[in-house]
Chains A and B, each alone.
Chain A
């Protein structure tokens, strides 16, 4: 537990001292979302219809872009070698690093999302569902993403490769996330979507750190 907190603290400190990295991810999110009205036209009805999907897909891409931050630097400077030799389960350390990644990249996206929802003319009933769905869904994205990030350590063109590996695995989160927001915006009950997203999160919470830890051990063999 102590090691968990110290790894978490270390990653958070590193992210804060290079806070431009987090800002770039939010910047990407904002700029990409703003591009959509240019692409599909400024009609309110069209924007309102696609707002949930656009926000989710863009948030998913933004969180994917920052995945190399989880392990890449530690892999290159050798601190990952030391972390795998620490007197604690690697799974816990991996979980701490994933949590740090989520706090520094996904959380700013969740904060920015309602503002962008206003720009996309989403109906106000959807706002709380949007924040709640992102809060419940983005940890899953970070968890799955960490497996991909660990798998491509040392690969040629790892950054592009990781998108091919993990985007198909993001599909369920995307479907239920968008459906929860869309449903809430049009006034339907969306409890089941949230329950399923919670279930997916719990399963990933068990499986992904294990798989990522295995992938790290392979990478350092």
Chain B
């Protein structure tokens, strides 16, 4: 570990940001959750099950975005060997994995009343499942070495290889089987959703992204502190 591996400026900045971010997240959740789960009108076809979608879709967005972010950090870590990028990537991994899992679980809960099955080998679900495995592989590899830097760098390389693979996996799985709802928000003609539903969805998406950023910052600080303790020899065998 390099002597200047502790990103003091970033941590100092992040401590201030975290406070404001925490307040914002609480406010956003306090507005978005009641709005999406109680106040917004039920769908004329899906009734109240539409509310699952307000958790499901933002989780899916974050699950995907987190992997791309992680890969960007991994690339920075491989090229410039910045310890901060290592901490960020390691901080993002479990959070991204949890959001991906949340997406799968809520999708399954929604699928039971709508498609009549807990699990369907549909293209989008399957690629999210593969994404979850990629996260698990990253976390397993980054913790498989006695040497912290070796584990993180190996996992970074895996992450970059994985991000090259994701489009191929997505394409192949789609080719294999498709049943899922098509995209309704990001379309050329504009979103094909009722405005009330779209508002609820976007509010939830905003709240979830804030939550994600908050968790990442807190975890990054933890990773950095852990690394500092490790270099001082305070964390046992590491």
Residues of A within 8 A of B (CB): 147-148, 151-152, 154-158, 161, 164-165, 167-169, 171-172, 175-176, 179, 196, 200, 203, 207-208, 211, 214-215, 218-219, 221
Closest Cβ neighbor of B164 among chain A residues: A207
The 6 residue pairs across chains A and B that have the minimum distance between CB atoms? A172-B172, A155-B144, A168-B133, A165-B137, A175-B172, A151-B154
Chain B residue contacts of A172, Cβ below 8 A: 165, 168-169, 171-172
Chain A residue contacts of B175, Cβ below 8 A: 175
Q: Are A176 and B150 in contact (CB under 8 A)?
A: no
Q: Are A175 and B144 in contact (CB under 8 A)?
A: no
Answer whether A171 and B173 are a contact pair too, CB < 8 Å, given A151-B154, A211-B161, A215-B154: yes
Q: CB-defined interface of B78-98 with A at 8 Å, one 1/0 digit per residue?
A: 100000000000000000000
Give residues of chain B (115-174) contacting chain A, Cβ–Cβ below 8 Å: 130, 133-134, 136-137, 140-141, 144-146, 150-151, 153-154, 157-158, 160-162, 164-165, 168-169, 171-173
Answer whether A169 and B144 are a contact pair too, CB < 8 Å, given A164-B133, A215-B154: no
Partner of A161, one of B141, B161, B171: B141
Taken together as a complex, chains A and B put the C-alpha atoms of A172 and B162 apart, in Å, by: 13
Chain A residue contacts of B141, Cβ below 8 A: 151-152, 155, 161, 165
Chain B residue contacts of A175, Cβ below 8 A: 172-173, 175-176
Chain A residue contacts of B151, Cβ below 8 A: 155
Partner of A168, one of B130, B154, B171: B130
Taken together as a complex, chains A and B put the C-alpha atoms of A203 and B140 apart, in Å, by: 26
Additional pairs, 13, CB under 8 Å, beyond known A175-B173, A215-B154, A218-B153: A147-B161, A148-B158, A154-B145, A155-B145, A161-B144, A165-B137, A171-B169, A172-B169, A175-B172, A179-B176, A207-B161, A211-B157, A211-B160
Closest Cβ neighbor of A208 among chain B residues: B161
Q: Are B157 and A169 in contact (CB under 8 A)?
A: no
Partner of B172, one of A147, A171, A214, A219: A171
Q: Per DSSP, are chain B's interface residues mostly helix, strand or loop, or mixed?
A: helix
Taken together as a complex, chains A and B put the C-alpha atoms of A164 and B141 apart, in Å, by: 9
Chain A residue contacts of B153, Cβ below 8 A: 218
What count of chain B residues pass the 8 Å CB interface test?
Answer: 29
Closest Cβ neighbor of B139 among chain A residues: A164
B134 to chain A, nearest CB (A): 5
Closest Cβ neighbor of A164 among chain B residues: B137
Residues of B within 8 A of A (CB): 78, 130, 133-134, 136-137, 140-141, 144-146, 150-151, 153-154, 157-158, 160-162, 164-165, 168-169, 171-173, 175-176
Chain A residue contacts of B150, Cβ below 8 A: 154, 218-219, 221
Chain A residue contacts of B78, Cβ below 8 A: 214
Chain B residue contacts of A211, Cβ below 8 A: 157, 160-161
Taken together as a complex, chains A and B put the C-alpha atoms of A167 and B130 apart, in Å, by: 9
Taken together as a complex, chains A and B put the C-alpha atoms of A208 and B151 apart, in Å, by: 19
Partner of A169, one of B154, B165, B176: B165
Chain A residue contacts of B157, Cβ below 8 A: 147, 151, 211, 214-215, 218
Chain A residue contacts of B145, Cβ below 8 A: 154-156
Closest Cβ neighbor of B126 among chain A residues: A171
A204 to chain B, nearest CB (A): 10
B133 to chain A, nearest CB (A): 4
Q: Are B161 and A164 in contact (CB under 8 A)?
A: no
Closest Cβ neighbor of B78 among chain A residues: A214
Chain B residue contacts of A156, Cβ below 8 A: 144-146
Taken together as a complex, chains A and B put the C-alpha atoms of A169 and B145 apart, in Å, by: 22
User: Which of A157, A165, A179 has the most CB atoms of chain B within a 10 A radius of its CB?
Assistant: A165
Answer whether A169 and B161 are a contact pair too, CB < 8 Å, given A154-B150, A164-B137, A218-B150: yes
Partner of B154, one of A176, A207, A218: A218
A sample of 12 cross-chain residue pairs with beta-carbon separation below 8 angstroms, ordered by A number, consists of: A155-B145, A156-B144, A157-B144, A164-B136, A165-B137, A168-B134, A169-B169, A176-B172, A196-B172, A215-B154, A219-B150, A221-B150
Closest Cβ neighbor of B170 among chain A residues: A172
Chain B residue contacts of A176, Cβ below 8 A: 172
Chain A residue contacts of B176, Cβ below 8 A: 175, 179
Q: Are A164 and B140 in contact (CB under 8 A)?
A: yes
